[in-house]
Structure formats: structure tokens, C-alpha cells
Structure 1
């Protein structure tokens, strides 16, 4: 169950980063609100997950989900480049997250 909470925290981190991007330095209200709400939920869920997952693993998985998700959304919707090295980077991050999951068991 804590792993599902951690994945949800990572997904809300993606929302936080996207809100931050569209807030234009907190000059746009609704993207700023999205960033603050998503960030708050993300940190709360991360804190819950850390009750059952070691802090290093939880933080690495949380940031990995957020980073891979933000890069993927950037490629799909924000016209960011999709070259071989960027895609390989996403694959490596996801592979690291999966490896940490299996290393923890449960």
C-alpha cells in the first residue's frame, strides 16, 4: 500500500512541476494554484510513504517519477526535443525506480 501512495506522490509531483512551468514565475493564478495544491498533496503523500519505506528509497523513487514524468510530458505536449539520449535517460530513470522497488521487497 505504501508503494501505491509513493507512486501517487510522484504523480502529484509531476502536476507540481507542470503548474510551476505554466505559472510563469507565479504571475498566472491558476497554474500557481495547481503548483501549490499538487505540491502540498505530493509532499503529504511522500511523508505517508516514508513511514513504511526508507527515506533514501522513497525520495529517489519520488523524484524519479517526477523527473521522468515531467520530461515525458515536455516531449509530448511542450515541443521539447525527443532525441535518443533524452529517451534513454527516461528509460534509465524508470529502470532505477523499478530496481529500488525490487530492492526494498514488499
Structure 2
């Protein structure tokens, strides 16, 4: 169950971040409301997941997959450019999460 909560937290964080871009500087009410609700739900769900998972790897996974999701969403929804160096950076982020998990990983308490 904590991994489901973490997955949902990531989904809400990505949604909130993409809505932040769509809010046009908080001048559009709908996307602005999604930003607030999305981040709130994301933090609540991650806090619940952290009751039984290690904070370091969980935060690494949450932030890394959130970064990758925001990158992909920006490309798909806002026609943001994909540059080779950006893709290399995304791969490095994922590798960092893998290394963190190899070094101690996630344990359920």
C-alpha cells in the first residue's frame, strides 16, 4: 500500500507542476486551483507513505519521477524542446535514484 500512495503522490505532483505552467502566473483560476490541490494531495500522500518507508529513497523517487514526468508533460503538452543534454540529465537523475536504492533502499517498517 505505501508504494501505491507514493505513486499517487507522484501523479498529483506532476499534475500540479504542469498546471502551474498552465496557470499563466496564477492568472487562470482553474489551473491555479489544480496547483494548490495537487501539491496538497501529493504531500499528504507522500507523508502517509513515509509512515512505513525510508525518507531518503522515497524522496529521491518522488522528486526524480516528478522531474521526469514534468519534463515529459512539458514536451507533450507545451511543445517544449527535447535536447540531447536534457535527456542525458534525465537519465542521470534516474541512475541516481537506482544508486540510492542499491545503497540502502526502501524498507517497510
Global fold match (TM > 0.5) = yes
Determine the C-alpha separation between the residues in 2 that align with 1:12 and 1:100: 23
The verdict on how the C-alpha distance between 1:54 and 1:105 changes in structure 2, with shifts beyond 3 A counting, is closer
Cα displacement (A) at 1:71: 0.8
Counterpart of 2:7 in structure 1 is 7
Counterpart of 2:43 in structure 1 is 43
Deviations 1:65-87 (A, max 9, x none): 11111011112221211111111
Matched pairs, number = 106
Determine the C-alpha separation between the residues in 1 that align with 2:7 and 2:101: 11
Counterpart of 2:96 in structure 1 is 96
Deviations 1:13-63 (A, max 9, x none): 001101111112211100011111111110111101111122222222111
CA contact (8 A) 2:57 2:106 kept: no
Determine the C-alpha separation between the residues in 1 that align with 2:97 and 2:52: 16
Determine the C-alpha separation between the residues in 2 that align with 1:99 and 1:69: 20
| Unpaired segments ≥5 residues, structure 2 | none
- Report the RMSD for the aligned CA atoms in angstroms: 1.8
TM score, norm. by length of structure 2:
0.84
